[in-house]
Structure 1
Amino acid sequence: MKKLFISLLFFLNIILFAQTKTVTFSEIRWKGYKTLKAESLSHDGTIKLKSGNLLFKDNEITGGNFVMDMTTMDADDLNNNKKLKKMFENHLKSDDFFDSAKFPESTFQIKSLKKLKNNDYNYQINGILTIKGISKNLSFPAKISQANNQTTLKSATFTFNRKNFGLQYNIFEDMLISNDVEMNITLIAK
């Protein structure tokens, strides 16, 4: 009973003293390479955000949650070849990689932030990335700024290991694909 009471007080404290801002703009960019990390052997594109919010206390971000719509994966680098673009996007969305029919959403939950003494990226964001139902800790530097009642979060380029999330193709093709997937995120919340 005592634990329930303490949990209830904690929850009420968050409700009474926390503020939530909704993400109104987002740009989520990804980039993948063959094992030889060259621009000519890479693909890049975007993923649309389904929903997102930032939690604040005393005008400082304390958390947040973002839901990415994996059915919207786009391969921008193939825009000049519509047939190849469609084929590649379908391949990424298939059970060979993201299996977006079974796992239409991926999430990132901010667990903590640490201020950095860096002009380009003033915070280290620590959280949990979930892809295909697999959750892993992930950290990245970001520039967070506030103006006109809106908060902008812009990440540095960061990577995650695709194999940690079960993103594997057949054994022969898999050896030709780099394990690292690069990402950049920009969010604006009001």
Structure 2
Amino acid sequence: MNIIFKSAMILAVVAGTSLINKEVKTVNTETSTAIWTGKKFGGSHNGTIDLKSGQLEFNNNQLTGGEFIINMSSLEVTDLSGDNKAKLEGHLKSDDFFSTATHDTATLKITKVDNTSSPYKVSADLTVKGITNSITFDLTTAEDTATAQIIIDRSKYNVKYGSRSFFSGLGDNFIYDDFEVDVTLKF
């Protein structure tokens, strides 16, 4: 009787385990893209930033989590060239903006996924310049690709330059606090 009971328990565990299909998908940092857009009064700039590493977690083909490390030193401006490009890239990497010499990476860790709708409603902790805040965004997955547009309020990460959240009297010389990052992840 004891052998039959043990055999039944083993079969139940094996059968139950096969119903759960957990999978971690590593993001291909070479083919994935992150395109940022920052806006100022009367204009905008855009560029790219690279992922250092990333992964998405799925359970029964439903997104459940993920973690990413962003290479802040890779920040590049794509709408300018020559000296103007170099000057803006240097300024964005300086202490006025993202302080990449002391904060060369940022991280994003998914903390909650509402997978009852499409696209997924994602909550995550974003850490920039050592400061962590919760953000939310929609994420769509299809086969080997995930896409999202993430809106980030730079003032929450002590990025003050040209911000009306920190300075008054800027007139038309301000930069909007929110910037967009359009992400396409390949895995």
Q: Same fold (TM over 0.5)?
A: yes
Name the counterpart of 1:18: 22
Q: 1:116 to 1:76 in 2, by over 3 A?
A: farther
Aligned counterpart for 1:51 among listed residues 53, 64, 67: 53
Name the counterpart of 2:38: 32
Q: 1:116 to 1:141 in 2, by over 3 A?
A: farther
Aligned counterpart for 2:146 among listed residues 148, 153, 162: 153
Deviations 1:59-91 (A, max 9, x none): 22211101110001011011xx31110010010
Name the counterpart of 1:68: 70
CA–CA distance in structure 1, aligned partners of residues 26 and 117 of structure 2: 27
CA–CA distance in structure 1, aligned partners of residues 85 and 116 of structure 2: 40
Name the counterpart of 2:98: 98
Q: 1:55 to 1:31 in 2, by over 3 A?
A: same
**Which one-letter code corresponds to 1:183 in the other structure?**
V
CA–CA distance in structure 1, aligned partners of residues 51 and 35 of structure 2: 11
CA RMSD between the two structures: 2.2
Q: Which runs of 5+ in 2 are unaligned?
A: 1-16
CA–CA distance in structure 2, aligned partners of residues 72 and 117 of structure 1: 34
1:46 to partner: Cα distance: 0.5
1:159 to partner: Cα distance: 1.4
**Which one-letter code corresponds to 2:32 in the other structure?**
S
CA–CA distance in structure 1, aligned partners of residues 90 and 38 of structure 2: 16
CA–CA distance in structure 2, aligned partners of residues 184 and 19 of structure 1: 25
> Larger Cα Rg: Structure 1 or Structure 2?
2
Name the counterpart of 1:111: 111
Which secondary structure state, in structure 1, belongs to the residue aligned with residue 79 of structure 2?
A: helix
Q: 1:111 to 1:97 in 2, by over 3 A?
A: same
1:142 to partner: Cα distance: 1.8
Q: Which runs of 5+ in 1 are unaligned?
A: 1-12
Q: TM-score scaled to structure 1, two decimals?
A: 0.77
CA–CA distance in structure 2, aligned partners of residues 138 and 63 of structure 1: 14
User: Contact (CA 8 Å) 2:125, 2:132: kept in 1 or not?
Assistant: yes
User: Contact (CA 8 Å) 2:76, 2:89: kept in 1 or not?
Assistant: yes
CA–CA distance in structure 2, aligned partners of residues 88 and 62 of structure 1: 38
Name the counterpart of 1:187: 185
Residues 152-171 of structure 1 correspond to what in structure 2 (within 5 A)?
Answer: 152-155=145-148, 157-169=149-161, 171=167
Aligned counterpart for 1:138 among listed residues 135, 138, 148: 135
